[in-house]
């Protein structure tokens, strides 16, 4: 999958979905919500504005990734957020 350059300031007020995170994501969600006023959704729909994945190079994309590709939703790697 192609790596996308996404600036953190572009996170403001976005509807975001997370994919590939097996561990609790409460800290990540809390940080992004407080800093960028984002809203999280558990499913990827046409209203989702950004998908953050744990491993963008995962060989088998999840249904969330497939839906994001279908609707041309930007997909970025988690490492871009924590920089």
Largest CA distance in the chain: 32
Q: Nearest to residue 49, comparing CAs of 71, 28, 78?
A: 71
Find out whether 49 and 16 touch, Cβ atoms under 8 Å: yes
Q: If pLDDT is split at 50, 70 and 90, which confidence band does 75 have?
A: very high
Q: If pLDDT is split at 50, 70 and 90, which confidence band does 1 have?
A: low
Cα gap 19→75, rounded to integer Å: 10
Could you tell me which residues are beta bridge partners of residue 76? 52
What is the pTM for the complete model shown?
A: 0.85
Q: Nearest to residue 14, comparing CAs of 64, 43, 51, 42?
A: 51
pLDDT per residue as tens digits for the range 13-69: 999 999 988 767 888 899 899 989 999 999 999 999 999 998 888 887 889 999 999
């Amino acid at each position: 999958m192609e790596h996308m350059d996404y600036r953190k300031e572009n996170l403001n007020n976005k509807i975001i979905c997370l994919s590939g995170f097996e561990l609790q994501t409460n800290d990540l969600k809390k940080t992004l919500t407080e800093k960028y006023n984002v809203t999280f959704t558990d499913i990827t729909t046409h209203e989702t504005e950004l998908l953050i994945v744990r491993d963008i190079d995962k060989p088998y994309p999840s249904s969330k990734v497939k839906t994001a590709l279908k609707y041309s939703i930007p997909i970025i790697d988690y490492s871009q957020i924590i920089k």
